Amino acid sequence: MVDAKLRTWIYALICLLIFLKAEGYFVDITYVESAVAKGAVCLDGSPPAYHLSPGFGSGVNNWLVHIEGGGWCNNVTTCLARKSTRLGSSRQMVKQIAFSGILNNRQTFNPDFYNWNKVKVRYCDGSSFTGDVKRVNPTTNLHYRGARVWLAVMEDLLARGMSKAENAFLSGCSAGGLTSILHCDNFRALLPLGTRVKCLSDAGYFISLKDITGTEHIKAFFNDVVTTHGSAQNLPSSCTSRLTPSMCFFPQNMVQKIRTPLFILNAAYDSWQIKNILVPGVADPQGTWHDCKLDIQQCSSSQLQIMQGFRTQFLNALAGFGSSSSTGMFINSCYAHCQSEMQETWLSSNSPVLEKIPIAKAVGDWFYDRIAFQKIDCPYPCDSTCHNHIFEDNSEA
């Protein structure tokens, strides 16, 4: 028994070492303790946090700031549940996390950003860093302070050297990808005029559409998020001057007004959006879509037809975004969500490609103005390079 346990432990250690050598490395957490006095805190009142891997060589004055994803909480009940997790409290966050993909520090795996100062900002406010409600209910002790957290973390990074950045890149995944869109121009405004500043949204282009029952579920959900967190004042005024604030949580309603160069990386069959916007659990009480949502290869022909309709609406929501040469797009026809954080999809021997170009090269070429990149894939199932997500049966739908 001991030998078996020892072998298992040794095997796990070897796997970890192989991962660290080939694909990633661990980075310690930094708590922004000074933010607490400013009221810039997580849902539970704990200080915000990030992980910083210092730049080296020619990258010492370049900064990549990547925002963690993790959905949103839309009312007291869901925010209370979130408060006791890493998505609502820095006290619940692990002390180290693995950096890979766009955060990798090896040139082979991340040729354009490997030696930059690389930051992963932890997400603990539940509003994509937009909330700011001054009063704290003593009964719940919930702090809706995402916008303050954003500013406190950015001020801390500026003091650590980002104020001298030659190149700065704001990126994020999922709810963090939405953050990189919502705060793109704000990020630009914090940095010197001579700094090259651009933004990347990975799986953050959430679209407004009806679910399979004809209900506008996501619109109501985002309205609750904006109302609960008091987000209206921190959403782009170019949008809120025209539309109700909650509609400005949808990138399609405000990307055309963003002045800072922006790259949209997204799967046209975004697995999170299929599972939570097109077919949320409440829209499928009989579980007809259960197997399809877990694995696109299990979808029936009629379900695939509906998903093709989702792709059409997604592309329609992108219309007009790529009209500027400063914008970039990598829209592949995969069943996936977030492709910049994992090495296998960012850059590897079999990573997804569009016209033979992997994501890392497309983004790097665009950032450095080497080659413009605005590509949209053919419909599913034409792309054999996809890493389609297959979910566990007990995964959240």
Residues serving a catalytic function are 174, 270, 337
Q: How far apart are CA 332 and CA 377, in angstroms?
A: 5
20 C-beta neighbours (distance < 10 Å), count:
13
| DSSP structure class, residue 327 | -
The H-assigned helical ranges of the chain are: 2-22, 76-83, 146-159, 175-182, 184-190, 217-229, 237-240, 271-273, 290-294, 301-318, 343-346, 359-367
Q: How far apart are CA 56 and CA 62, in angstroms?
A: 9
**Look-up of token digits 């869109």:** 181
Q: How far apart are CA 369 and CA 156, in angstroms?
A: 29
Q: How far apart are CA 301 and CA 212, in angstroms?
A: 15
Instruction: Output the DSSP codes for 144-205.
Output: --HHHHHHHHHHHHHHTTGGG-SEEEEEEETHHHHHHHHTHHHHHHHS-TTSEEEEEEES--
Percentage helix, strand, coil, to 5, in the chain? 40, 15, 45
Structure tokens at 146: 């995402």
